[in-house]
Amino acid sequence: MSKTNRKQDALDYHSQGRPGKIQVLPTKPTNSQRDLSLAYSPGVAEPCLRIADNVEDVYKYTAKGNLVAVISNGSAVLGLGDIGPEAGKPVMEGKGLLFKIFADIDVFDLELDTKNVDEFVNIVKALQPTFGGVNLEDIKAPECFEIERRLKEEMNIPVMHDDQHGTAIISAAALINACELQKKKLDKVKIVVSGAGAAAISCSRLYVSLGATKENIVMIDRSGVIRSDRENLDSLKSEFATKRNLNTLDEAIKDADVFIGLSSANVLSADALKTMAKNPIVFAMANPDPEIAYELAIQNRKDIIMATGRSDYPNQVNNVLGFPYIFRGALDVRATTINEEMKIAAVKAIAELAKKPVPEAVNLAYNSTNLKFGKDYIIPKPIDLRLITTVSPAVAKAAIDSGVAKKIITDWDAYKDELHKRLGTEDALLRAITNKAKSAPKKVVFAEADNYKILKAAQIVKDDGIAIPILLGNKATIKQIIHENALDLDGVEIIDPFEETVRQKKYSEFLYKKRQRRGISLFQAQKLMRDRNYFGACMVEFGEADTLISGLTKDYAATVRPALQIIGTAPSVNRVAGMYMMLTRKGPIFFGDTTINENPTVEELVDITALIHDTVKQFNITPRIAMLSYSNFGSTEGEVPLKVRAAVKILHEKYPDIIVDGEMQGNFAINPALLKDNFPFSTLVGQPANTLVFPNLESGNIAYKLLQELGEAEAVGPILLGLNKPVHVLQLGSSVREIVNMVTIAVVDVQSKEAEKNIRKRGLFKKN
């Protein structure tokens, strides 16, 4: 895309539709006259009076606790300089947007038309009743230092100048990691800092407090190197004035290990870069254009670690990685300030997160197959959902430990779940299942290991300790894919069925014995065993693997067939069915049968429901089952409602312990108020159903696919129910995330089946 196009795109983005980037939305119902009388007069008087009695109740009855002011006077907007408060507003709205999407913090952006420090301070102080925190933004040095110092002293809510401390925290985390990768010691590195403003001074201060040596820092402003013999040096700049005989950036940069750019575009030339020490670290952080263009820098120094403030190159060192999560942590413990301890905790959390395996969603978003800690990935990417659960708890904990928190958190797991919920990533169940899988990982054989997605998923489940992968396929092909994509599958067993003559013989004889009276000759059995789905199913049957994952590249029936022939259905059930776990904003809802039984009879529907019930229980959830149709409790006499009604009757008689009801329409199943108002006799009254059984394959399949496609739910599955040993069949073309989820479910399935066997052995097992 050309530069002109990008400029026009940016203008269109801001102007089209509702101008700007943010709006205010009500958080309470406003549908009726009653709602309005609660929201406003007369009802609103009640919370007013409570707060008048106890001012801390403002956090209970208003939005204050989650509301941050992003305040600027437009005097140092990005690297664009003093462009004024109105011109700075798009940036402040942008910060508001980032606060919201990354940390669910609401923001009012306030652009103040004043450069007078006293006036600025007085205005912001007077805003204290409204806000839970204050993020100062793009205010130039030196005023920004006095403004922040006074506001911190005079206000009892957290105040942070983002360009100072947000930038310092992120760049410090990146610097620690870059030093490690370049094998340099922070206390030894020679640092040149271009810029001597808000960001540059605060970054340098933090580097020193983390171990850098002040004497090794040379700082440069518009007039050149800040020398201690310069006349009229203000106290801030004199803090980093050097005694060395240097005048220009070109002189200072020679043999330097680190360049920190917090000034303006293109101040560092390629020639100057060439004179830096071996393995240089260059953070050119001026926005929107860095001190040296990314391409120019990497062309001229192959040994460089290069970062910019921009999102379109590797290593984005930008305060967006910090401010949303720092304020989230501070607000959640009602911190009265943001202190050094909280900042250092954030630095460490961010630096350490960069060393952990990168989630697939992040790889996908950056069009990468395997981001990992290294020269092009020194800090996490801003869209990494783990930032909120890593940085915010670290900050909150530091606030508590350093005595500035008014609210104490003790249950950190619950806090992390709450953070996930805030971002609408309420996959607490999936996390619980993952933890269960990790507690006793199982051997998972992947039948389609000559596929990149399968191998990537195998690496993830291995790294996360969810499973012990076994790869089936041609060894050379698998190794080549691993090599080409820099995957790490060292130590993972690869089995080529063609090389396994002993197993081939054993397995084909077994299959022949099992199916000889159902049309399979020994020759055919030997031929079938070359199919990895047959071979893998035999491995599971013989206990050489615990479960099989397949189906990414073959149709469902072709993958299920070998499992049915070799493993067969469990003795207690006489059929198989398929189920999806739909992770919706209202929590998990199980859908079945979505994959196997086209038009079940009444009896079949009963069996399927019992099967689904038992499987949902595996996830430590009490199934509340709604049997769906297009009518409610006899309201229509159609063929399908009659079938479902008959199935419900049998279920009530045969399995009185199962919470199940119907036939009912989908909305009544998941809306408890609607059900109670209209059918108060239903056994499902009280809470919504969490398990939906569909009358036939068509309706189940359509329902889950629509939800998935509309972005209303993440579908985990299909979970194959009823086999004697777990085999799970992927959806054709599943993503890596979907494969990982399926493996996780498969491992838990193995664990549950083992537990079930143990109970049976002790003679305690009783099927509902």
Ligand X SMILES: NC(=O)C1=CN([C@@H]2O[C@H](COP(=O)(O)OP(=O)(O)OC[C@H]3O[C@@H](n4cnc5c(N)ncnc54)[C@H](OP(=O)(O)O)[C@@H]3O)[C@@H](O)[C@H]2O)C=CC1
- Whichever of 197 and 536 has its CB closer to ligand X, that residue is 197
Type of residue numbered 177:
N
Q: Which of 93, 106, 109, 138 binds ligand PYR (CB under 6 A)?
A: 138
- Whichever of 289 and 341 has its CB closer to Mg ion, that residue is 289
Please report the DSSP string for 16-84 in residue order: SSSSSS------S--SSHHHHHHHSTTTTHHHHHHHHH-GGGHHHHSSGGGEEEEEE-SSSBTTTBS--
- Whichever of 86 and 484 has its CB closer to ligand PYR, that residue is 86
Chain centroid to CA 362:
8
- Answer yes or no whether residue 286 interacts with ligand X by CB under 6 A: yes
Residue 546 binding: pick among ligand X, ligand PYR, Mg ion, none (C-beta 5-8 Å cut-off by kind) = none
Q: Which of 216, 287, 316, 690 binds ligand PYR (CB under 6 A)?
A: 287
CB of 606 within 8 A of CB of 591?
no
Report CA dihedral (735, 740, 741, 744) to the nearest 10 degrees.
160
Which residues sit opposite 161 in a β-bridge? 136
Task: Dig out the tokens for 302 from the structure.
Answer: 């192959």
Neighbouring CB atoms inside 10 A of 646's CB total 16
- Whichever of 91 and 745 has its CB closer to ligand PYR, that residue is 91
The SS3 call for residue 485 is coil
The yes-or-no answer on residue 462 being catalytic is no
Cβ-closest residue to ligand X? 197
Q: Which of residues 431-490 bind ligand X (CB under 6 A)?
A: none
Choosing from 95, 184, 343, 753, the catalytic residue is: 95
In 3D space, the residue among 635, 615, 743 whose CA is nearest the CA of residue 690 turns out to be 615
- Answer yes or no whether residue 541 interacts with ligand PYR by CB under 6 A: no
CB of 728 within 8 A of CB of 624?
no
- Whichever of 198 and 419 has its CB closer to ligand PYR, that residue is 198
Which residues sit opposite 578 in a β-bridge? 720
* Residue ranges that bind Mg ion, judged by CB under 5 A: 138, 163
Q: Which of 318, 337, 550, 724 binds ligand PYR (CB under 6 A)?
A: 318
The answer on whether 57 is annotated among ligand-binding residues is: no
Task: Dig out the tokens for 720 from the structure.
Answer: 């194959």
- Answer yes or no whether residue 163 interacts with ligand PYR by CB under 6 A: yes
- Answer yes or no whether residue 324 interacts with ligand X by CB under 6 A: no
**C-alpha–C-alpha distance, residues 479 and 494, integer Å:** 9
Interface with ligand PYR (CB under 6 A), residue total: 8
In 3D space, the residue among 359, 383, 195, 183 whose CA is nearest the CA of residue 281 turns out to be 183
- Ramachandran quadrant class, 622 (left: phi over 0; alpha: psi -120 to 50; beta: rest): beta
- Answer yes or no whether residue 148 interacts with ligand PYR by CB under 6 A: no
Task: Kindly state the smallest distance separating residue 286's Cβ from ligand PYR, in Å.
Answer: 7
- Answer yes or no whether residue 206 interacts with ligand X by CB under 6 A: no
Neighbouring CB atoms inside 10 A of 482's CB total 22
The answer on whether 246 is annotated among ligand-binding residues is: no
- Whichever of 139 and 560 has its CB closer to Mg ion, that residue is 139
C-alpha separations of 97 from 23, 92, 103, 299, 407 in Å: 10, 9, 10, 35, 27
C-alpha separations of 576 from 241, 407, 589 in Å: 76, 51, 20
Cβ-closest residue to ligand PYR? 287
- Report the DSSP pairing between strands 224-225 and 217-221: antiparallel
Residue 262 binding: pick among ligand X, Mg ion, ligand PYR, none (C-beta 5-8 Å cut-off by kind) = ligand X
Q: Which of residues 246-275 bind ligand X (CB under 6 A)?
A: 262-264, 267
Q: Which of 280, 309, 359, 717 binds ligand X (CB under 6 A)?
A: 309
- Answer yes or no whether residue 546 interacts with ligand PYR by CB under 6 A: no
Residue 194 binding: pick among ligand PYR, Mg ion, ligand X, none (C-beta 5-8 Å cut-off by kind) = ligand X
The answer on whether 400 is annotated among ligand-binding residues is: no
Task: Kindly state the smallest distance separating residue 201's Cβ from ligand X, in Å.
Answer: 8
The answer on whether 82 is annotated among ligand-binding residues is: yes
End-to-end CA distance of the chain: 63
Task: Dig out the tokens for 153 from the structure.
Answer: 């002293």
The Cβ-side half-sphere exposure at 622, using a 13 Å CA radius, reads: 7
Q: Which of 72, 216, 319, 690 binds ligand PYR (CB under 6 A)?
A: 319
- Whichever of 309 and 497 has its CB closer to ligand PYR, that residue is 309
Task: Kindly state the smallest distance separating residue 314's Cβ from ligand PYR, in Å.
Answer: 17
- Answer yes or no whether residue 220 interacts with ligand X by CB under 6 A: yes
Name the binding residues.
Answer: 77-84, 137-138, 163, 287
| Chain positions contacting ligand PYR, by CB under 6 A | 78, 138, 162-163, 287, 309, 318-319
- Which residues does the annotation place in the binding site for NADP(+)? 77-84
Interface residues with ligand X (CB under 6 A)?
76, 78-79, 140-141, 163, 167, 194-200, 220-223, 262-264, 267, 285-287, 309, 317-319
Catalytic residues: 95
